[in-house]
Structure 1
């Protein structure tokens, strides 16, 4: 990471940090994309089953991963503050916490999953696909969380190209395994959507193994001495990580869970509606990788500048990141307007599914605009280590406003399933407004405190 002075230098460093993160996030989301896409070509039942399974798993996975992502601002502040010797110890504590979280998920999930699926109004075949998909996927939970910690360490050093390389290595593995296990090619059993769960689990083990190898062998990571010394659990460091990570995790959980809740509430509609909704939501999630990547870049850059006491530079990076996200959201909106039918055709060959998916994608345009503001703002706030208010804002916007509005519109108007999407758009817009207000307030308070201290 380099100290910058001019806006052109900042833009260059922002791009250097951002582009590998963006490629990495797109590649990671592509794992879910290909799981959904390839399952859809196996049949609408497989697509619906994977949709239900993903809706149960993704909020939990992203929420708990969000807790571990608290490692990024911690490492950024340590490096910015000249305390690099403490990095290895903190990362090892993150790995211990990752193992604990994974074991807890496996234990609780084994007891609750059958109960949850039985309580939903699902067709028997859809329920079977969802159960087997999640059961197979659980094999990869431990390495998935472990990689989140190692990636946070790698990215905090500004080495986002390494994360990109690791993920790009894993993507062909996932696609190839899907090809074998979903469709039963080359003598493998035809597992349909459930095969995507096995493919993803194996992929996560590969990702983690490659990350460990890179951290041990490559510069500049080797200078931090990762895994050279055994460190037992430190509850003091866990407390520090959880203090930052838990609000981040809950913020991400509340955001992703509300989308999952909508998908689960869609179970009262027919299989074609569930499949079309999931296809449109999956593509919207793929586009979401743009503001999410900008958010992660801002956490690194703002955290680095804040740790070094360069508040003006931290603010400039925030403006640069949010402005870029808004501009790119307008581009994605045009893509959805012009090529909506072609996008829908990627997910299914059934004409009814394609037509309904295209309709859902129109609503996704409004997602992009709100996400372009809210998500980068959250990244900047994490760089300032201001995480609790964002958690509250996210909860209120999505769960107190967005979901209830969507439920009312879907249940008591002629909008039907589209009512849920309008509710989500409402919640996202409120959240974006409140988060932007919070960032301005934090930056003013930080400048005031620095002026008093001086």
Structure 2
């Protein structure tokens, strides 16, 4: 990262940071995409089982990742203020937090997963696949969360191309192990959808080891000596990370968990409906990587400028990022509409399931514009270290407005499962409106703060 003066320089730097993040996010999501597509080829029960398992796993994954994302604005602020001494210390403490959170999630899952699946109206084969798919994923939790911490360090330095290269290197590994474990090739057992969980865990371990090697051996990462002079856990720093990270994690959790809740509520419908819903969500979520990447890039750039007390530059980055995100959101709408038929047959050879996927994809078009506004604004606000109010806004939008409205439509109208999707569309639109108002308020407030008050508040925020 470096200070910029003109809009052209800002656009260039934002693009340099954002595009590798986009490739990285698509690569990371491609692992889930590969899991889903290959499982669908193994059978409708395998696809539905992976869908249910993913519905329980994705909110946990994104929520914990959100907590650990707190390190990105913290490190960006420190680098923007040229305070480099604390960088390796905060990364080490972040790794401790990642391991601690893994233990908490693993313990909770051991007690809760089986009862939750038992409460759902699932076919026995679907329940079996979902349970063992999650067991396979559990083996990769520690490397995934530790990698998330180290990735935050890499990205805060503006070296987003490195995480892109790591992710691209991992994709062939993921595809290979999915193929041999799902279909029983090269002497491996034929595990069906269950094999996708173990393949993903193996890939997470590969990513972590490669990431550690690169940050230990190559500049500018080796300059910070992350793995030298390892320090003991510091409760005060854990508290700082968690106070900032928990609202971020819960905000993301409430947004992603509503999709998972809908999948679980759809268990009262047929296996074909569950499979079609999951396939449509899977493809729409692939396109969601675009606004999500803008959010990550804007957290880095806005956080860097706020750390350097350059408010006008932070506002400029926010405007550029939002305009680009909305433009690409419109392009995503066109892509979904034009490709809905061939996309449906990527997931299944069953024409009935394909028809349901196409119907769900039409509804997903309306997600795109709301996400194009909602998600980048969350990233901008994280750059300001504003996380508590967005958390409350997300909870109200998704759980108090969107989900009850969707349930009412699905229960009391002829829309059936599509009623839940209308509820999701409503929640995203409401949340985008709330966040737009909040961002405007934050920017006005930042203008009004005197330099002395601004410095005092920044110190209080860490």
Q: Equivalences for 1:265-280 in 2 at 5 Å?
A: 265-280=265-280
Distance in 1 (CA, whole Å) between partners of 2:245 and 2:151 is 15
Cα displacement (A) at 1:409: 0.2
Q: Which residue of structure 2 aligns with residue 156 of structure 1?
A: 156
Cα shift readout 1:362-385 (whole Å, capped 9, x = no counterpart): 111110110000000000000000
- Residue of structure 1 in register with 2:206 after alignment: 206
- The aligned residue for residue 221 of structure 1 is 221
Return the offset for 1:453: 5.5
1:86 maps to what in 2?
Answer: 86
- Superposed, which structure 2 residues align to 1:257-336 within 5 Å? 257-336=257-336
CA deviation profile, 1:33-85 (whole Å, cap 9, x unmatched): 00001100111100000000000010011101110110000000000011111
1:452 is displaced (CA, Å) by: 7.4
Match of 2:196 in 1: 196
Write the distance in 2 (CA, Å) between the matches of 1:40 and 1:230: 45
Partner of 1:6: 6
Q: Any gaps of 5 or more consecutive residues in structure 2?
A: 455-462
CA distance in structure 2 between the aligned counterparts of 1:108 and 1:359, rounded to whole angstroms: 36
- 1:127 maps to 127
Distance 1:243 1:306 in 2: 19
1:289-319 alpha-carbon deviations (Å, 9 max, x no partner): 0000000000000000000000000000001
| C-alpha separation in 2, matches of 1:165 and 1:19 | 12
1:92-131 matches, cutoff 5 A = 92-131=92-131
- Distance in 2 (CA, whole Å) between partners of 1:336 and 1:81 is 43
Q: 1:452 to 1:226 in 2, by over 3 A?
A: closer
- Report deviation, 1:104: 1.2
Q: TM-score, normalised by structure 1?
A: 0.99
Partner of 2:58: 58
Aligned counterparts of 2:61 and 2:407: Cα–Cα separation in 1: 25
Runs of 4+ in 1 over 6 A off after TM superposition: none
- Shift of residue 451 of structure 1? 6.3
SS for the counterpart of 2:26 is helix
Distance 1:101 1:187 in 2: 36
Q: 2:182 matched to which residue of 1?
A: 182
Report the Cα distance in structure 2 between the residues aligned to 1:143 and 1:180, rounded to whole angstroms.
Answer: 22
Alpha-carbon distance between aligned partners in 1 of 2:453 and 2:294, rounded to the nearest angstrom = 31
| Structure 1 CA distance for aligned equivalents of residues 154 and 250 of structure 2 | 23
Instruction: State how far apart, in whole Å, the 2-side matches of 1:448 and 1:86 are.
Output: 30
- 3-state secondary structure, aligned to 1:346: helix
> What is the TM-score with the length of structure 2 in the denominator?
0.97
- The 3-state SS of whatever aligns with 2:219 is coil
Instruction: Look up the match of 1:421.
Output: 421
Identify the residue that residue 70 of structure 2 maps to in structure 1: 70
Q: 1:187, CA displacement in angstroms?
A: 2.1
Q: C-alpha distance in 2, partners of 1:410/1:452?
A: 54
Instruction: Give the structure 1 partner of residue 460 of structure 2.
Output: none
Q: Which residue of 2 aligns with 1:390?
A: 390
* Distance of 1:83 and 1:173 partners within structure 2: 38
